[in-house]
Amino acid sequence: MVRFADRVANVKPSTIREILHLTQQSHVISFAGGLPAPDLFPLGRLREAADQVLSNPANLQYSITEGETVLRELVSGRSPELPDPANVLIVSGSQQGLDLVGKLLINPGDSIVVEAPTYLGALRAFDVYEARYVAVPTDEAGIDPVGVEQALNDGAQMIYLNPNFSNPTGKTMTKARRRQIVELAERFDVLVYEDDPYGMLRFSGEPVPPMITMSSSHVLYAGSFSKILVPGFRLGWLSGPRGMVEKLTMIKQAADLHTSTTTQAIAAEAFTGDFLDRHVDQVRAHYLQQRDRMLLALANYFPKEADWTVPEGGMFIWVTLPEGLDSTALLGRAVDEGVAYVPGEQFFTDGSGRNTLRLAYSVASGAEIDRGIERLGSLFTRSMTSGSYA
């Protein structure tokens, strides 16, 4: 048997992916996967764009690692704080951003500050570089700055945050809290990785400025076209300090030469005119409706002892069940009854959060939301009154 490298000891499959396999039977109503609604994919527009793009062989040839100029200009044009496309690197979905930054910054054993709970995909990307994690609790304003400062005092090397409508909690960091965290990053000379795949999907409340507007030296911003266009193109971007983006470009070149010339060109062609803004308006309106439907169903059917977040955008609601209910243990029964979710424990680094769960309202129909939440509410209520509780 060929010997694997030491870092592979940290490689594990995504548990969410295993759950998704379980729930792909068509009769299961899934609130599990964070998939964008396929009914909103702009098929006609993309077909037209593809027809244009596939008439020019340059759109099928090798290209530069930085990404197609027109797409980088689009990103930088929408970011007043980043006027220059030279600060933008197109990546193959935001997951690749995590991998490239892990490669750039993490030595084996380094500590990364994350929220408790945090995005699972970030942990899996950083695991490969043998990261350790300091999970800092989050209050209503965002990650606790006292905990962050403590972790930085103890030598942590990076702060990973998902500040808008976070995966998994749906919560948003306040402006004041963002500023505090950025100041800490500058003081301790570490990077804030601002992972923002949902930022354009705000459907209520007031926009909060991204942290990258607060520091030109210590924040790297990661955006994604997966939730505002389609995930199957695998398009995202990193933007931030020029020297860091240049290093990341070299690292990306060694990793996959460049992101698909063709999907970049189709996206850029589709975005001409005001299409992106009009399309994102539609997506936002739809997700607002979906969120409201799920909030109403939760109020109607979930036990009154349960609590949940009210996201101002994005795709997720985070539910806290009464202490003693175990969402991991109950998942099998929920799937038997035709509903799936992701147990909250998955998003913690220490096995805590067993009484929490993540619900995605993005793909189910309105009727499925009603029926699925009713069944889950019934299951959780029965579990409280039966011996499963406590």
**Binding residues for its own copies restricted to 27-56, rule: CB under 8 A:** 33, 35-36, 38-39, 41, 43, 46-47, 50-51, 54-55
* Residue among 129 and 316 whose Cβ is closer to its own copies: 129
| Region of 74-82, 127-135, 195-203, 278-286 interacting with its own copies (CB under 8 A) | 127-135
From the number of C-beta atoms within 10 Å of its C-beta (0-12, 13-18, 19+), residue 137 rates as exposed
Extract the tokens encoding 137.
Answer: 């609790």
Give the burial string for 54-77 (b: 16+ CB within 10 Å, else e).
eeeeebeeebebbbbeebbebbbe
254-313: which residues touch its own copies (CB under 8 A)? 254-263
166-195: which residues touch its own copies (CB under 8 A)? 189-191
Closest approach of its own copies to the CB of residue 116, in Å: 21
CA proximity to 168, closest of 317, 349, 373: 317
The rounded Cα 62 to chain-centroid distance in angstroms is 29
CA proximity to 263, closest of 234, 227, 237: 234
Alpha helices in the chain (DSSP H): 15-22, 43-53, 69-77, 94-105, 120-127, 145-153, 175-188, 242-256, 261-270, 275-301, 327-336, 366-385
| Region of 123-131, 171-179, 289-297, 323-331 interacting with its own copies (CB under 8 A) | 123-131
- Over the window 236 to 255, marking each residue x when it contacts its own copies by CB under 8 A and - when it does not, the resulting string is -------xx--x--xx-xxx
| Interacting residue with its own copies among 127, 195, 196, 370 (CB under 8 A) | 127
* Residue among 106 and 331 whose Cβ is closer to its own copies: 106
For residue 37, what is the DSSP state? P
- Over the window 199 to 238, marking each residue x when it contacts its own copies by CB under 8 A and - when it does not, the resulting string is -------------------x-------x---xxxxx----
Q: Counting contacts by CB under 8 A, is residue 79 touching its own copies?
A: no
Secondary structure (3-state) at 30:
strand
- Over the window 138 to 157, marking each residue x when it contacts its own copies by CB under 8 A and - when it does not, the resulting string is -------------------x
| Interacting residue with its own copies among 14, 204, 272, 300 (CB under 8 A) | 14
| Interacting residue with its own copies among 28, 88, 113, 125 (CB under 8 A) | 125
Q: Counting contacts by CB under 8 A, is residue 121 touching its own copies?
A: yes
Closest approach of its own copies to the CB of residue 291, in Å: 21
For residue 290, what is the DSSP state? H
Closest approach of its own copies to the CB of residue 342, in Å: 15
Q: Counting contacts by CB under 8 A, is residue 25 touching its own copies?
A: no
Q: Counting contacts by CB under 8 A, is residue 86 touching its own copies?
A: no
Extract the tokens encoding 34.
Answer: 């964070």
Q: Decide: 106 and 112 in contact? Cβ < 8 Å.
A: yes
CA proximity to 111, closest of 153, 143, 163: 153
Rg (CA), the chain: 21
Q: Counting contacts by CB under 8 A, is residue 109 touching its own copies?
A: no
